[in-house]
Amino acid sequence: MNPLISAAPVIAAGLAVGLASIGPGVGQGTAAGQAVEGIARQPEAEGKIRGTSLLSSAFMEALTIHGPVVAPAPSFANPSVQPVFIRNKK
């Protein structure tokens, strides 16, 4: 079997985990910076700003966790690769 066919799902899973972590990481940094800036401009609205930023951080964190959980799926669902327990059976 072509080694590229065997390696493609693993490479895809690695790229998916990396890309799924980069986006929310940048978003969380931007959101935190904007929240601090908003509190500095309007200290009386600190409670509303903090609540909204915590909620949005929770959603971004859920996206960050979702990526590594779903990304390995192509490694196990590749129809071109025969499972090890069938391949070693004689």
Q: How many domains does the chain have?
A: 1
User: What confidence score (pLDDT) does residue 43 get?
Assistant: 94
Q: What is the mean pLDDT of each run of 10 residues along the chain (90 residues)?
A: 77 85 89 94 94 91 83 71 58
Residue 31 lies in a domain: yes
User: What confidence score (pLDDT) does residue 90 get?
Assistant: 57
User: What confidence score (pLDDT) does residue 11 get?
Assistant: 85
CATH of the domain at 32: 1.20.20.10
User: What confidence score (pLDDT) does residue 80 get?
Assistant: 66
Residue 9 lies in a domain: no
Residue 88 lies in a domain: no
**Residue 44 sits in which domain range?**
25-69
Query: On the CB side of 83, how many CA atoms lie within 13 Å of its CA?
Result: 4
Report yes or no on whether pTM surpasses 0.85: no
